[in-house]
Amino acid sequence: MGNMDSNISKILLAIGCTLPVYFIAVIWLIPAQAITLALICLLVMLWSNNGLPLGVVSLLPILLFPMFDLLPTDEVTSNYSNAIIFLFIGGFLLAIAVEKTELHKIIANKILAFFPNTITGMIYALALTAGSLSAFLSNTTSCLLLIPLALFLSEDDALKKRFALAICYGASIGGIITPIGTPPNLILYGLLDQLNLPSIPFIQWILLVLPLALILFLFLGWMLSWGTKNQQITKKPLQQQPKLSTEQKKVTTILVTLILLLFINSPIQPYYGGLGLNEKGILLCAGLILFVPPISILNWSDSKKIPFEILFLFGAGFSIAHVFTSSGLAVQLATFLQSFSQLPLPLLILLIASLVTFSTEITSNTALISMILPVIYALGQQNGLDTRLLMMVATICASYAFMLPIATPPNAIAMSCAAVEVKNMIRYGFLLNLFSILLVFAVASTYWDYFLNF
């Protein structure tokens, strides 16, 4: 009874916070935009305080957006069948196979051979491994491949939470290291070419962002290790390195083939165009192969372990991104940015970094960066500023949304670990957001400002 009363209080609190948001927003925005902001606030509050189960809250846009005449039901539900959801299904099937065959114990043993067998050592190992993979593969794929380790390395839920966050945050940080690591980077390259601006060579890009990423990795490890006293991890991987079983060899072969195929498929423009295969199809195929004889690692009952609430969560995120654009809030964001065009360059960099970082928490970073980069280019042109520098700031910050599970695929994947709650992600993510904004501001105002004009 007490738990039910607590949940009712949490729901009422979420509604109570939503109403003031609407009445304040409607002063400056049209009603549809004010309602959109208020509903986003309601969903974020319910995700944060666990007033309703995660999956239930994630399905609410199907009811709320048509109810308030923001989007038709068919347009909302189509977001729950977005192609990336099938990438998730393939990735989750691979993760289930790794856990079922206990291959993650072998992988953990290999990782610990290079890092100290301590909580801090493991956090850095997971973050750097996820980041290194994400520099060349999709951060979603990298996170899915590593997340079983977060559940294996300790019986302590608090440590599972830290390990899962190290993987998801590390994947997001690593995605900016190369131009092919995340979609916003590729959008920037396409726009530079479209606007006849000098492109940023592959190696120069790495030299620009690698110091930023390394400092963020150091801060991430320190932040997630804080308060643990750096004790030994409580559940160690197998001390004796066993030979791989037949099932483990099958899964290993599929994983190695998958990673090689993803690397070969990745375009490195203008040098290599990749194979042109759809990455979502590749991941789903790898997951489905696990059911096919003679591999037969999984059976249909194993599919019940897929965290469907995370798939619903992504559908909600895509729906929010859709209504963010259709309601005109995206245009309002661009207009707001233009009103600060006379600010000195350092303050403008800080404003763009802050605005993009927090905006991408509730909308697709791909959609946001596609909309805002042309605005930033016009802003720089009108005021004689370095347009490439300003666009670079926005592009990097579009990948650094660490607070909400709907912000990035790695955040959502971390939520598939039962130990991670939205309030944990908000607490750690807010600190990481602030640090990354200040770091991007410092690096862009000095190092990038010189290097891009060298």
pLDDT score at 327: 86
Between CA 148 and CA 144 the distance in angstroms is: 8
Closest CA to 174 of 184, 163, 162, 182: 182
pLDDT score at 454: 46
Our CA angle for 38, 41, 44, nearest 5°, is 155
pLDDT digits (tens, 9 = 90+) for 394-426: 999 988 889 888 777 788 888 877 678 888 889
Q: Is 86 exposed, middle or buried (0-12, 13-18, 19+ CB in 10 A)?
A: middle
Residues 320 and 58 sit within 8 Å (Cβ to Cβ): no
Residues 147 and 409 sit within 8 Å (Cβ to Cβ): no
Between CA 139 and CA 339 the distance in angstroms is: 34
Q: Give, for 286, the enclosing helix (H) or strand (E).
A: helix 279-289
Low-confidence residues of the chain: pLDDT under 70: 1-5, 104, 108-109, 111-112, 136-137, 180, 230-242, 266-274, 334, 364, 367, 371, 418, 453-454
The one-character DSSP state at 293 is T
Whether the predicted model's global pTM rises above the 0.85 cut = no
Report which residue type is found at 265: N
pLDDT digits (tens, 9 = 90+) for 141-173: 778 778 877 777 777 888 888 999 999 999 999
Closest CA to 186 of 433, 3, 369: 369
pLDDT digits (tens, 9 = 90+) for 284-325: 898 999 999 999 999 999 988 888 887 887 788 778 878 877
pLDDT score at 47: 79
Residues 288 and 90 sit within 8 Å (Cβ to Cβ): yes
Helix 246-265 to helix 279-289 angle, to the nearest 10 degrees?
170
Between CA 432 and CA 410 the distance in angstroms is: 15
pLDDT score at 238: 47
Two structure tokens written together for 193: 């070419």
pLDDT score at 212: 94
pLDDT score at 219: 96
